Structure 1
Amino acid sequence: MGARDKTRRSPASPIEDKEQYDSNYYNPDVPNPNAEYDDDLGVQCPSHTTQRRLVSKIDLRVIPVLSILYLLAFLDRTNIANAAVFGLQKDLGLTGTQYNTALTIFFVPYIVFEIPSNIILKRLKPHVWLSLCMFGFGLVTICQGLVKNWSGLLATRFFLGLFETGMFPGSFYLIGMWYKRSEAQKRYSFFFGSTSLAGAFGGLLASAIGKMNGMRGYLGWRWIFILEGTLSCVVAFALYFMIPDFPEEAKWLREDERTYIRARLLKDQGRSARERRITFSDVLNCFKDFKFFLGGIMYFGLIVPAYGYAFFAPGIIKTYGYTQIGTQFHSVPPWAASFVFALIIAFFSDWFKHRFMFTLIPIAMSIAGFAILLTTHTHPHLEYGALFLVTMGTYSALPVIVCWFNLNLGGHHRRAVGTAWQVGFGNIGGIIATYAFLAKDAPDYKPGYKICISFACLSAGACCAYAGALTVQNRRRERAGRDLGVTEFEKTEMGDLSPDYRYLL
C-alpha cells in the first residue's frame, strides 16, 4: 500500500452531503471524504496545500512573538555597550577593569539557572514563565539607568542575568517542539537573527536617545536604559497572551490540527513524553552521553567572539575616528548584514537537510575577519569591512549549531535539559569575552582578536568531533537494526538514544 491511500477512511459511516465539509480539514469524529489517510503517520490528514498553510499558521504564531521577546532581551543585555559610548564609565567613576567586571557578573546567574529555568518553563507553561521573566528584566534595566555607583551597576547586572536566564534556551526548546528537524533551521535562524536586529536597532535607538542628554537631569546613557527597559515591561504584558505553549496544549489550533502536528513530530523525533515531569535523575542521565559535552563546546567556542563583538563593537568602531552619534550609526550595517546572511545560510541548510558544513563555512568567515583586524591597524575602511565578516560568520553559525544539537535530542526531557546545558555552559564564554578587550589594549586590541580566533577554532574542532560521533552512532544503529526487544515505553524514555532514532548531520 502506498504512503497515501485515498480509499482508506475513518471507520465511521460517511455521509453524502460533502458540502458541509471544509475541503482542507477533517472532523476526527466524522469522516471527511476529501481527507487522505497517511500510512506513515497513522492519521487522517489535510491536503498538501493545507499542510503548508498549517505550518505557515504555526510560523506566524510562534516565530515573530519569540523573536520580539529575544530581540528585547538581547537589547537590554548589550545596550550597556551603547551607554558606554555616551559616558557611563566616566559618570560612575569606573576605573581599571570595573566595567569588564560589571559585564561579567551578568553571566553568573545566567549560566547557573539555565537548566532549572527550562524545568520551570515546562511546568508553568511557556507563556507564563517567559512573559514573567521578560517583565523582570525590563524592570531591572530601568533600575540600571538609575544607579549611582559601581556597586549599583553590579547589582542590576546580576539580576538582569537572573531574569534573562530562561529567554534563549526556553525559546529554542519551545521552537524545537513545533517543527520537524528538516524544516527547523530557517525558523531558528530567523529567531536568532533577532540578536542581529537588536544590535542594529540598539545602535539606531542609542543615536536617537543620546540626543536626550541632560533632559530632566539625566545623561543620555541613563535614558538608554530607562526607555528600553520600559519598552520591555510594556511588551511583556502583551506577550503573556501571545506566547504559544507546546503543541499538545495549543488552544489556538483545532483538535484535528493538533492531532496531525503530533503525528508528524512523532514520526520525525519520536515520542515527546510531554506528560511527565523532568526529574533530577533525568538530568543526571543526560550527562552520561558524551555528545552533550561536544554540544556545549561547539556553542562555547563561538560565544567568545559573539559577545566580544556585541559588548565592544561600539568601542572598536569609535577608534576609527567617528563621533559618538557616528559610532552608533556605523554599528548598524554589520548587524543588518549578519541578519540577511544568517537567513541565507539557514535556507540552504534546510534545502540540503544538512548542518555540519553550514557551521564550518561561517566560522571560517569569522576567523578571516578577526585575522584582518589582528594584522591591519592603519586602514579604517578595511577594518570596518572586517567587522562584517565577523558578524556574518559568527551570528550565522551560532543558530545552526544550536539547532543541530537541539533537534538531535529526542523527547521533552532530553531536549529541555540539553538546550539549557548547551546555552548555560556556552555562556561561560561570555565571561571570557568580557575580559578579552581591555581599555589598555586600545586601539589595536590584539589580545582580544587572538582570543576570538582561538575560540572560533575550538568551536570548529568540536563541530567536527560532533559530526563524527553522529556518523558512527548512525552506522552502528543501522547494523544493529530496530528490533532489539525494546518496548515503546522504553524507547520514549530513551529519546534520541532509542535504536529507532537517526541523527541528522
Structure 2
Amino acid sequence: MWLCYGIQQTDKTALGTQATFGLREDTGLYGTQYSWLTTIFYLIYMIFEFPSNIILQRYKMGKILSCYMICWGVVVLCIGFAQNFTHLVVLRALQGLFECCISPGFILVVGSWYKTREHASRSLVFQSANAGFGIISSLALYGIGKRGAQNPDSEPWRWMSYFLGAMTICIGILCLFLLGTPSEVKWLTPEEKRMANARIVSNNTGHDRTGVRKWQWKQVRECLIDPCFWFAGINAFLSSLPNGGLTTFAHIINTSFGFTNLEVILLDIPRSAFSVLYFVAIGLITSKRSGLRLYFMIVSTIPPFVGFLGMAFIPNNPSMKWTKWGMYFMTVPYVISLFLAWSLIPSNTAGRTKRTFTSSFTFVGYCVGNMTGSQIFKAKDAPFYVPGVVGCAVCFGLEFAVLVCWRIVLVLRNRRLDKTIALDGLSEEERTLRAKKMGEEDKTDFENPYFRYTL
C-alpha cells in the first residue's frame, strides 16, 4: 500500500515538475490550458468515483486496485509521447479515471485488516508515502532533469513520464499477487483468514465481506441526515483546494522566489523528510492514546494558514527567497487534516453501504477542491499568484471552524451513548456481544445503540 500510494501521488503531481522542464513550451500550452490539465484530472476522478466504489464493493478489491494501477501506469507512460494540449488533456482524463479508486479503496482495505484504534496509524503509514516516496522520486527526477540540462534537446519531461509510467506498471503487476482484504489474499491460510476477520469484530462494523453484494438505499438516506457525513465532505473540499493549487503550481511559485528548477526539486527533499517524521509521530501518538485525531487535525490547519499568508505578503525580492521558502515549508502539516479525516471513515461509519457512500462523497469533496484549487491560480497573476495563495489561507481558516464543530458533534453523541448504557441494565460483556452482532448484521452506527465514535 505504501508503494502504491507513493507512486500514485508522484504520478499525479509530477506535472508540476515537468512544467519547469519544458512541458508547457514543447506542447504549446498557453493561458489556462496548464491549469485545465489538473482540473480535467479531478473532474473525471470525481465522475467515476462513485461507480468505482460500487465495483470495489462488489468484486475483489485487490485485483480491481491492481488492474487500475497498471492502466494508469500505461497512461502516465503515454504522456511522454504527447505533442499538444489535446493529447495531454485526454491522457490526464484517463489518468483521473484509473486513479479514482485507489485512496477510497485503501481506506476500505485498512478497515478490513485493522482495529479501530489502529486505523489512524495504519492509514498514516501508507499516506506518509505522499512525502516518503516523494524523496525517492525527487532524486530520480533530479537526475533526469540534470541530464536534460546538459542536453536541452532531450526534453527531460518526457523521460520523467517514461520512468514513472514503467515503474507504476511494474508495481501494479506485483500488487496483483499481494494486495487485497483478508478474505481475498492467497498468502493467508483459511485459518489465518478467519483469525484476521475475528480480529476486527470489535470494530462493530462487520468484516470485509459483510454486506458486500447488497446496496442499501436506507443507509444512503441516513448519510444525508448525518452532520458528520457533510463535515467529511466539506473538510475534504477545504483541505484539497490548497492541495490542488500546490500540486500544480508549487514548483512554478518556488522558482519565482529565485531558485532554479533543479534547486526546487532538491528543496522538496527536506520538506518531504519532515512530512514523513510528522506523519510517523502522529501515527505513533494516536495508536497509543485515543481521542486525539481531531485535535491533531485542528492544530494542523494553523501552520499552513500562517505559511500561505507569509508567501503572499512577504516582498518578492531575491534577498527574501529563503524566508519565503520557510513560509512554504510551514505548509507541510496541511495534509494531516485530510488524511486523518479519511481514517475516521472506517472508524466512525458502520454499515457497508453507508461507509462506501461516505467514502465516495468525501472524495467528491476532494476532487472539487483540487479542481477549484487549480483554477484560482490565474495566468494573469503569474509568477507569484498572490490571490490564489491568499485563497488557500482562507480555506484553512474555514477548515479550522469545521473541524471544531465536527469534534463537538462526536463528543455530544458519545455523551448521549454514556447516558443510554447507564440505564440499560446490561453488563459490559452483554453490550459488547450485542454491538458485535449488530456489526455482523451490517447495522449502521445510527442503528447500533452501542456504537462509540472515535475522536
Common fold by TM > 0.5: yes
- Write the distance in 2 (CA, Å) between the matches of 1:441 and 1:334: 25
- Of the structure 1 ranges 284-293 and 481-490, higher mean CA displacement relative to structure 2 is found in 481-490
The match for 1:225 is 161
Residue number in structure 2 paired with 1:461 = 401
Whether the aligned pair in 2 keeps the contact of 1:196 and 1:395 (CA below 8 Å) is no
Structure 1 pair 287/380, CA: closer, same or farther in 2 (3 Å)? Answer: same
Partner of 1:495: 444
2:454 aligns with 504
> In structure 2, how many angstroms separate the alpha carbons of the residues matched to 1:249 and 1:236?
17
Q: How does 1:171-182 map to 2 (within 5 A)?
A: 171-182=106-117
Q: Which amino acid aligns with 2:3?
A: I
Tell me: CA distance 1:235–1:491, structure 2 relative to 1, closer, same or farther (3 Å): closer
Counterpart-to-counterpart distance in 1, 2:108 and 2:22: 38
Distance change (3 Å), C-alpha of 1:448 and 1:477: same
Query: Which of 286, 303, 306 is residue 243 of structure 2 equivalent to?
Result: 306
Query: Pairwise mapping of residues 352-501 of structure 1 onto structure 2 (< 5 A)?
Result: 352-354=289-291, 355-377=293-315, 378=317, 379-391=320-332, 393-481=333-421, 488=437, 492-497=441-446, 498-501=448-451
1:121-166 CA deviation, whole Å, 9 max, x = no partner?
A: 2322122101110011111111111111111111011010000001
* 1:69 Cα deviation from its structure 2 partner: 0.8
CA-atom RMSD, angstroms? Answer: 2.5
Corresponding position of 1:322: 259
Map 1:141-290; keep pairs closer than 5 Å. 141-213=76-148, 218-243=154-179, 245-272=180-207, 274-279=210-215, 281=217, 282-290=219-227
* Deviations, residues 314-333 of structure 1 (Å, cap 9, x unaligned): 11111122222222212222
1:430 is displaced (CA, Å) by 0.3
**1:202–1:436 CA distance, 2 compared to 1 (3 A):** farther
Deviation at 1:255, TM superposition (A): 4.2
Q: Is the 8 A contact 2:44 2:93 kept in 1?
A: yes
Ranges in structure 1 where 5+ consecutive residues have no aligned partner: 1-65
Distance 1:458 1:441, change over 3 A: same
Once the two structures are superposed, the pairs formed by residues 70-109 of structure 1 within 5 Å of their partners are 70-109=5-44
CA distance in 2, matches of 1:483, 1:459: 41
Q: Secondary structure at the match of 1:495?
A: coil
Q: Which moved more, 1:485-494 or 1:354-363?
A: 485-494
Partner of 1:26: none
CA–CA separation in structure 1 for the residues paired with 2:206 and 2:173? 33
- Residue 437 of structure 1 aligns to a residue in which SS? coil
Q: Provide closer, same or farther for how the CA distance between residues 127 and 268 of structure 1 changes in structure 2, counting only shifts above 3 A.
A: closer
Name the CA shift for 1:155/1:380 in 2 (closer, same or farther; >3 Å).
Answer: same
Once the two structures are superposed, what CA deviation does each residue of 1:253-289 show, in whole Å capped at 9, x if it has no partner? 3444433433331123343462541426244443332
- Does the 8 Å CA contact 1:317/1:331 hold for their aligned counterparts? no
The match for 2:66 among 126, 131, 150 is 131
Distance (whole Å) between structure 2 residues aligned to residue 401 and residue 440 of structure 1:
35
Amino acid in structure 1 at the alignment position of 2:111: G
What letter matches 1:493 in structure 2?
D
Q: Which runs of 4+ in 1 moved over 6 A?
A: 214-217, 483-487
* Change beyond 3 A, Cα 1:249–1:223: closer
Letter in 1 for 2:449: P
Q: Output aligned runs, 1:4-153, within 5 Å.
A: 66-153=1-88
| Cα distance in 1 between the residues matched to 2:289 and 2:158 | 47
CA distance in 1 between counterparts of 2:228 and 2:60 reads 28
Deviation, 1:250, is 4.2
Equivalent-residue separation in structure 1 for 2:377 and 2:137 (angstroms): 21
**Structure whose CA Rg is larger:** 1
Q: Could you tell which deviates more after superposition, 138-147 or 372-381?
A: 372-381
The verdict on how the C-alpha distance between 1:317 and 1:200 changes in structure 2, with shifts beyond 3 A counting, is farther
Highest RCO, 1 vs 2 (Cα 8 Å, sep ≥ 6): 2
Q: 2:282 aligns with which of 303, 325, 345?
A: 345
How far apart are residue 223 of structure 1 and its match?
A: 1.1
Contact 1:180 1:269 in 2 (8 A): no
Separation in structure 2 between the aligned mates of residue 292 and residue 483 of structure 1, nearest angstrom? 32
> 1 CA distance for matches of 2:371 and 2:75?
20
Q: CA deviation at 1:353?
A: 0.9
Q: Which whole-Å CA distance do the structure 2 matches of 1:407 and 1:270 have between them? A: 8
Of all paired residues, the percent bearing the same amino acid is 27
Give the match's secondary structure for 1:106: helix
Q: Which runs of 5+ in 2 are unaligned?
A: none
CA contact (8 A) 2:205 2:439 kept: no
Q: Distance between the aligned counterparts of 2:25 and 2:439, measured in 1? A: 61
Matched residue SS, 1:383: helix
- How far the C-alpha of 1:89 sits from its partner, in A, is 0.8
Contact 1:359 1:397 in 2 (8 A): yes
What is the letter of the counterpart of residue 256 of structure 2? Answer: T
CA pair 490-395 structure 1, distance change in 2 beyond 3 A: closer
1:411–1:490: structure 2 CA closer, same or farther, 3 Å change rule?
closer
Q: CA deviation at 1:456?
A: 1.3
Distance (Å, rounded) in 2 between the aligned partners of 1:211 and 1:441: 29
- 8 Å contact from structure 2 (residues 244, 372) kept in 1: no
**Equivalent residue of 2:331, what SS?**
helix
Within 2, Cα distance between the matches of 1:406 and 1:345?
A: 18
Identify the structure with the greater helix proportion: 2
- Mapped to 1, the partners of 2:353 and 2:139 lie a distance apart of 40
Q: Distance in 2 between matches of 1:455 and 1:332?
A: 26
Corresponding pairs, count: 438
Q: CA deviation at 1:110?
A: 0.6
Q: TM-score, normalised by structure 1?
A: 0.81
Cα distance in structure 2, aligned partners of 1:311 and 1:203: 16
Q: In the aligned structure 2, how far is the partner of 1:150 from the partner of 1:288?
A: 43
SS in 2 for 1:360: helix
